[in-house]
Structure 1
Amino acid sequence: MLKLHYNLEKLSMGMVVGIILAASIGGIVEIAPLFTIDETVTLPDDLRPHTPLELAGREIYLREGCYACHSQMVRSLADEIDRYGPYSLAAESAYDHPMLWGSKRTGPDIARLGEKYSDDWHVAHLIDPRAVVPASIMPAYPWLMQPLDTSILQGQLSTLAKLGVPYDADKVANAVADAVAQSRPDSAGAEAVQERYGAHVALRAFDGDPANLTEMDAVVAYLQSLGTLTKAPYEMTAGNERTAGAVQ
């Protein structure tokens, strides 16, 4: 085998053909299953899309490059399930564009982060990580206290709707109002947010100040939603002693 490879390296065109062949086989193995994804991945009945405020937070999360240090995929390994909770299901990311499973873990995986810590903890951690976790190497993000730009929310929801995310005309039309109302639980529009996105959607001033809608509100709302968009992973593992404590 080594001699064959050695002789192949002497022939540039042969080497090129070999590389193309190897890459093609790898590509087919990865791509072929996608043609049957509708039959192999079933969406949970209770799966909801992100609210406009959570979606805005996700965009800021992408903008700041947070995905470069935090994966969002709990693997089906005993030690991961012990630490993070139920392993990730493909269906959980059905509405994510792009999906953020990843493999980089400079920081911990955050697929099950939702409601694990308080809003105050997240705000303090984002403003000054070392004030909360002294050994943290995470950068500080104090500028997230600036006002949130909601001008593109309707366009984002409309675009995602064309990609199959269940944002109907009512959700698109009320995108900005819903983003504001979610951070103001006592406002007139707060109840409408839960009517559109489900009774379990969190309604509160995530940054502690209901008078101002900030990027911090959006990011914390997004982080608190992670792992809460469906109960499917918890229900699948409810009988497993290893994850029974994580069931919500």
Structure 2
Amino acid sequence: MGMGRRPAEADTDPFSGGIFNLNESFSDRIGDYLLGSPNLSLPVADETFSLHPFPVAAPLSTTNQETRASNGHEAAEGYDMGISEQVSATCSCSSQIVVTFEMVEISLHLVTAPKGSPGRPSQAAAMNIEEFLRDHKRALVSCEMLLGCETCSCRGEYVMLVISICRKLLHSVGVMHREGLSEVQNRDSSRERGGLWKLDDEDQAGVLEVLLKIRATRLRRLVTILDHVVTSHDWPAHRSMTQDLVRRLAEA
């Protein structure tokens, strides 16, 4: 394409193959660039995105009292409120995962609500493709960050939020694959597009499809990590729900 700069090759992934070997950061940025973000530039080969996509919220108030289930089983293994104050002062995982949950709920509602409904008053007010891709990526990063935290990944209630978010992300990818491709194909071709290339609708649909496949691949990686976490803590309910995600992703 005459750009003179080539992206670095993506890391090998057991779920990836063919088109899935595209570098995620490069593909995400170039996709946003092609879909009409004139202020974006092509990333350098070693560019990575921030692991802190949200503003850090104020520490949550906690108590030092342990919580135990009345049926003789602990509410969640590793749930030690004695260290909660220290965690809340140094770790933003818990506050960010709550923000992420709300964001994903809103995102899914906007892409699934019927056009013209109170929740989606017009196509202009609804979530567009670029916003969906950005929010989806932020959600993945937030979940990855929590599962990578030694303290927060031991909290069953936080991990359950991650499972719920993963379910919604998987559903939203399928919805956007249908709705988003249809929107690209039906949008006004005469609309001015930013960037170095002015793609026709067919090419824009192709770019969107590639980006959605990349999101699905990254979601598979996240669920693999999630499965390892819930297995290591021997949480039967969490494990069952995670295995359901594994099966659905394998069929997708």
TM-score band by shorter chain is: under 0.3
Higher relative contact order (CA 8 A, sep 6+): 1
The TM-score, its normalising length taken from structure 1, stands at: 0.23
**Larger CA Rg, structure 1 vs 2:** 1
